[in-house]
A and B are shown apart, each in its own frame.
Chain A
Amino acid sequence: MACIEARALRKAFGKTVALDGIDMRVEEGRILGIIGPNGAGKTTALNAILGLTPYQGELHVLGRDPWRERDRLMRDVSFIADVAVLPRWIRVWQVLDYVAGVHPRFDRAKAEGFLAKTTIRQTSKVRELSKGMVAQLHLALILAIDARLLVLDEPTLGLDILYRKQFYDSLLNDYFDRSRTIVVTTHQVEEIEHVLTDLMFMDRGRIVLHCSMEEFEGRYLEVMVRPEQLDAARALKPLHERQGLGRSILLFDGRDRETLSALGEVRSPSIADLFVAVIGKQPGQAQGAAE
């Protein structure tokens, strides 16, 4: 069964179309990164998946209709919308008590185990914790919930690099197994690059690219072209061309490695480079939208 299945999913706010009839299918056990410029519709898509917003079209998450069955769905789905959503007045022990009181799949001992590894005290109020500690607390809660789908929308926004690294490390080491699915959006593409199994680019309410990381690595190649072979390289219709270290770097889609290695040094592009190449080609889109 697919974890998420959407057909002609559409959402408009007045005249602004946030989701322009997207089709998507995410299998269980994948880690999907959704990347797109601001206003691409990422958060709207996630909100629809989480049952936070009504939509047109068809959407099933773990076989349920999220808008009609949000409370039931949330037993199997966890999400971190943003680091700053834990109520500031609540004490750490209170939030543990509360989640244990309402969530059948919350393992309080496990959450306390994670917290014991931090400097967070159970008597503290959330308002007394630093931004990084609030993120650790939220993560401890989420990791202790035995969910089948975890949705993360910019989970590390505003955190320093140590916490960001820790965040994804615990996610992979303590949480992810093949039965769970994770969907994550972020602007810090390079930090999740090694984590993902699937990649999706969104722009202006549409899915521009959706492939597995294996496909990504097999399909896209980047060549640092030797100056004398630049014309020959351009003849192969690169997706994108940029300058770097005094050389022209050309990105190709679906050209085989042997052909390209005759032109210069071949390597796999980063997600950020592909993003700029793909989204930058969209008419009217400013280049370099990926941060």
Chain B
Amino acid sequence: MSTQSNAIPQSALASGAGSYNEISVARRFYWLVKREVWESRSIYIAPLAVAAVILLGYFVSAISLPARMREASGMTPMAQGDMFAQTFGTAAMALMATTLVVAAFYCLDALHGERRDRSILFWKSLPVSDSMTVLSKATIPLFLLPLLTFLITVALQICMLLLTAAILLAGGQSLAMLSHLNLGITWIALLNHLVVGHGLYYAPFYGWFLLVSAWARRGTFLWAVLPPLAIGVLEKILFNTSHFGDLIGDRFGIGGSATSGKATGMLAMIADSPTLSSPGLWIGLILTALFLFAAMQLRRRQGPV
């Protein structure tokens, strides 16, 4: 076979500049995020599985519900409602804890997995910048997981509510206390808690994990955890203080102080979520931006490990 046999075909004309439709940034970003969800299916499988287990457990325990309601018949509907609110709150917290774990492991693998399996060379053969790739990966813990957690929690709680109502009605009991659940307000607070707290307030953690994932050759988890630990220990030895540890503890422990107080469930726990007006949130976001910028620079330079 000879190269001479190839006459100049019409595609030579078609390959001229300007004959192709541009793909908008938003459209490319959409495909990048979609790619992440394809790769890391635990993003939705883990919370869905936990929700299914909770629902099953709730269903089993609901068999004894009429009996418990008769025992609690002396209580006000409000107190009865609190009893349910606590269960609903526990379910929401279990889901939040699940997606936080998913987010942490996702971030640690996001820029490391592609170097480990060499697929970074394929991704880089396509017209997508490193900055856009890193941003698409940061979108998962910053926005997608909080919103997904919210949707799954709401769906789960609606299922639990319907199940409770069905059982109470079948037992001929009053539904009055269910109106004290205040699910509507709780959901608004939950959305705020997830988007502002889990998404934006925790952002420096995600940014740091993504940076470690872009930098470490192996042992991403150790690199993510040990240096902060070392700083804390060093501070303790040198100055006998624990500001760094407190800083991280405070950052992570949003809403933690309220849970120990009144046992009114989810609403109290998420009542003191950080707000958009708190300076700490913005300082954290600046730090996140620095971490992500460093991750972009690293991805530009790093090849397969």
Contacts and interface: CB of A to CB of B under 8 A. Distances in A.
Interface of A: 31, 47, 50, 52-54, 70-75, 78-82, 84-91, 94, 97-99, 101-105, 138, 146, 148, 169, 172-173, 176-180, 194-195, 197
B60 interface: no
B129 interface: yes
A177 to B, nearest CB: 5
B12 A84 contact: no
A148 B15 contact: yes
Given A94-B38, A146-B11, A177-B9, A103 B127 contact: yes
A95 B35 CA distance: 9
Contact of A178 (B6, B22, B27, B121): B6
A165 to B, nearest CB: 11
A32 to B, nearest CB: 12
Given A52-B303, A78-B125, A178-B8, A87 B117 contact: yes
B121 A104 contact: no
Interface string B60-81: 0000000000000000000000
A94 B122 CA distance: 14
B301 interface: yes
B32 A102 contact: yes
Contacts of B35: 94, 98
Given A74-B127, A103-B127, A176-B6, A81 B121 contact: yes
Contact of B119 (A86, A99, A173): A86
B28 interface: yes
Minimum-distance CB pairs A-B, first 4: A101-B31, A87-B119, A71-B129, A81-B121
Contacts of B235: none
B114 to A, nearest CB: 7
B20 interface: yes
Contacts, number: 116
A89 B37 CA distance: 12
B277 interface: no
Contacts of A179: 8, 11-12, 15
Contacts of A73: 127
B144 to A, nearest CB: 17
B23 A104 contact: yes
A198 to B, nearest CB: 11
Given A81-B125, A99-B126, A177-B9, 18 more contacts: A47-B303, A53-B301, A70-B129, A81-B118, A82-B118, A85-B120, A87-B117, A90-B38, A97-B31, A98-B35, A102-B32, A103-B126, A105-B20, A169-B1, A172-B6, A177-B6, A177-B8, A180-B15
Contacts of B2: 194
Contact of A102 (B9, B20, B126, B130): B126
Question: Which of A72, A80, A90, A177 gathers the greatest number of chain B CB atoms within 10 Å?
Answer: A177
A48 to B, nearest CB: 12
B14 interface: yes
Nearest to B303: A52
A87 B114 contact: yes
Given A104-B22, A105-B20, A146-B15, A85 B126 contact: no
B127 A102 contact: yes
B121 to A, nearest CB: 4
Interface in B78-118: 114, 117-118
B243 interface: no
Interface string B226-247: 0000000000000000000000
A88 B117 contact: yes
A31 to B, nearest CB: 7
A64 B239 CA distance: 53
A102 B3 contact: no
Nearest to B22: A104
